[in-house]
Structure 1
Amino acid sequence: MRRLWHLLGVAFGLASAVGCFLVGAYFQHTHATRQLQQLVQQDVYAYYISPKIFAAYARADPQFGFFNIPKGAPNHVQRIMKYGFPGLDDVRLYSDFVLSYDRRNRVAHWVCEHLQLANLQGARGVGRASATYRADLSVPSNFRSTLADYKHSGFDRGHLAAAGNHRGQQVHCNETFLLTNIAPQIGQGFNSGAWNKLEIYVRELTQSFGSVYVCTGPLFKPRAQGNRKWSVEYQMIGENMVAVPTHFFKVIMVESRLPLGKPYMEAYVLPNAPIPDQSTLRDFLCDIREIEHFAGLHFFQGIRRSAIFGSNYPSESKVFREFA
Structure 2
Amino acid sequence: MRFGYPGFDNLRTYEDFVVSYDRTAHWVMEHLTPDRMIYSPSVDRSKCEFREDQSIHAFFRSRNADYMNSGYDRGHLAAAGNHRKTQRAVEQTFLLSNMAPQIGKGFNRDKWNELEKHVRKLARANKNVYVCTGPLYLPRREANGKLCVTFEVIGKNHVAVPTHFFKVALVETADSRWFLESYVLPNRPVDRAAPLKSFYAPLESIERAAGFLIFQNLPRKCLISINGR
Q: Is the 8 A contact 1:236 1:242 kept in 2?
A: yes
Structure 1 contact 285–313 (Cα < 8 Å) conserved: no
Corresponding position of 1:84: 4
Q: Which amino acid aligns with 2:220?
A: R
Structure 1 residue identity aligned to 2:100: A
In 2: Cα distance, 1:141 partner to 1:313 partner: 44
Q: Given that residues 34 and 126 in structure 2 are in contact (C-alpha distance below 8 angstroms), is that contact kept between their aligned partners in structure 1?
A: no
Higher mean alpha-carbon deviation, 287-296 vs 112-121, is at 112-121
Moved over 6 A (4+): none
State the distance in 2 between where 1:296 and 1:86 align. 9
TM-score (norm 1): 0.68
Question: Contact 2:24–2:159 at 8 Å: present in 1 too?
Answer: yes
d(CA) in 2 for partners of 1:90, 1:287? 27
Could you say which residue in structure 1 is the equivalent of 2:227? 312
Q: What is the percent sequence identity of the aligned residues?
A: 49
How far residue 313 of structure 1 moved from its aligned partner, in angstroms, is 6.6
CA distance in 2 between counterparts of 1:127 and 1:219 reads 32
Deviations 1:253-291 (A, max 9, x none): 101322xx4310010000000001111101101100010
Q: Please say if residues 66 and 157 of structure 2, whose CA atoms lie closer than 8 Å, have aligned partners that are also in contact.
A: yes
1:129-166 Cα offsets, whole Å, 9 max, x none, are: 12110000110001000000001110001000000000
Residue pairs, 1:10-159, within 5 angstroms = 81-102=1-22, 106-159=23-76
In the alignment, which residue of structure 1 is the partner of 2:172?
Answer: 255
> What is the alpha-carbon distance in structure 1 between the residues aligned to residue 25 and residue 181 of structure 2?
21
TM-score, normalised with respect to structure 2: 0.96
Match of 1:272 in 2: 187
Q: Comparing both chains, which one has the higher relative contact order based on Cα–Cα distances under 8 Å and sequence gaps of 6 or more?
A: 2
CA deviation after TM superposition for structure 1 residue 229, in Å? 4.1
Could you tell me how far 1:226 is from its partner in structure 2? Answer: 7.9
- Cα RMSD of the aligned pairs, angstroms, is 1.5
Structure 2 CA distance, aligned partners of 1:288 and 1:128?
A: 33
Amino acid at match of 1:272: N
User: What is the identity, as a one-letter code, of the residue corresponding to 2:179?
Assistant: Y
Name stretches of at least 5 consecutive residues in structure 1 with no aligned partner.
1-80, 315-324
Asked if structure 2 preserves the Cα contact closer than 8 Å seen for 1:292 and 1:299, the reply is: yes
The answer to whether residue 109 in structure 2 is matched with residue 189 in structure 1 is: no
* Richer in helix (by share): 1
CA contact (8 A) 2:127 2:173 kept: no
The CA deviation at 1:88 is 1.7
Deviation at 1:230, TM superposition (A): 2.4
Alpha-carbon offset, residue 312 of structure 1: 2.2
Q: SS where residue 122 of structure 1 aligns?
A: coil
What amino acid is the match of 1:176? Answer: T
Q: Which has the larger radius of gyration?
A: 1
Contact 1:87–1:297 at 8 Å: present in 2 too?
Answer: yes
1:166-245 → structure 2 map (5 Å cutoff):
166-225=83-142, 229-245=146-162
Gaps of 5+ in 2: none
